[in-house]
Amino acid sequence: MTGTGRRIAVAGPILTLSVMIWLHVAFPGTVDPMNAVISDYAWVDGAGPLFALGVLSLGAGTAGVTYVLAKVEPARSAAARVLLAGITVALALTALFPTDPSMGVSSATGEIHRWSTALVFTGLPCAGWILARQTRVLPGWRNIGRVLTAVSMVSVLTLVVFLLNHPGSPIATLTGGAAFYGLVERFLVISEVVLVLTMAAGATRARPSAIRRSTPSRSLARGNIR
């Protein structure tokens, strides 16, 4: 099962990127990439199921990463796994409850979508940073940890720009950020998918932690048995 988990952890985010690229290629002109969010594809004829597939694929990837981390590094990855499990559920909710078709939130479905995506956007950088901190002393994780930290910081900074330029915010009014709000969101999504891929790379390359068992002969040799 670990092999299956590794494949899902890597294939999930790759499929997400592929689907998101295809949405922009196959449905040109339906959603403005500069000022409209990717979630708006949920209301484009023929694009809704593809959008859901892309989101669920990322959820499968985070679930795969969670499973593999539980096998290879159960102790040090515990906090990150809790976050990743919540993010997996949030991604499922994001796919099942689309955003409202008009600007703003006017329904319970739109509210669920808004808060589930908020958990994903904030939770993934936190999970990446925590995982990097907890595994940095382990063999094989040092380089991955540096990349995780860097990508997590990029995601956080992009998220800040995204929130500041949200349509209707005072900053967006001053900077005209609403005109490129959708573009910033696409950079944010890409950074978070890369974050999942980086965590998958670390988890799939890691070896299961060795559990040292104390034997009577070793304990006696160390003078622990009297």
Res 165: pLDDT: 87
Res 167: pLDDT: 79
Residue 37 in domain: yes
Rg over CA atoms, the chain = 21
98 close to 104: Cβ distance less than 8 angstroms: no
Res 207: pLDDT: 67
Domain that holds residue 89: 2-221
Residue 226 in domain: no
139 close to 162: Cβ distance less than 8 angstroms: no
Taking only the tens place, the pLDDT of each residue in 92-118 is 999 999 988 876 677 899 899 999 999
Per the structure, the count of domains in the chain is: 1
- pLDDT category of residue 209 using cuts at 50, 70 and 90: low
Which tokens is 124 given?
């993934």
Residue 65 in domain: yes
Q: What percent of the chain has pLDDT over 70?
A: 89
Least Cα distance to 134 among 82, 89, 90 occurs for 82
Taking only the tens place, the pLDDT of each residue in 143-188 is 899 999 999 999 999 999 999 988 777 887 788 877 899 999 999 9
For the whole model, what pTM was predicted? 0.87
Taking only the tens place, the pLDDT of each residue in 26-52 is 999 999 999 899 999 999 999 999 999
Instruction: Give the three-class secondary structure for 52.
Output: helix
Res 101: pLDDT: 81
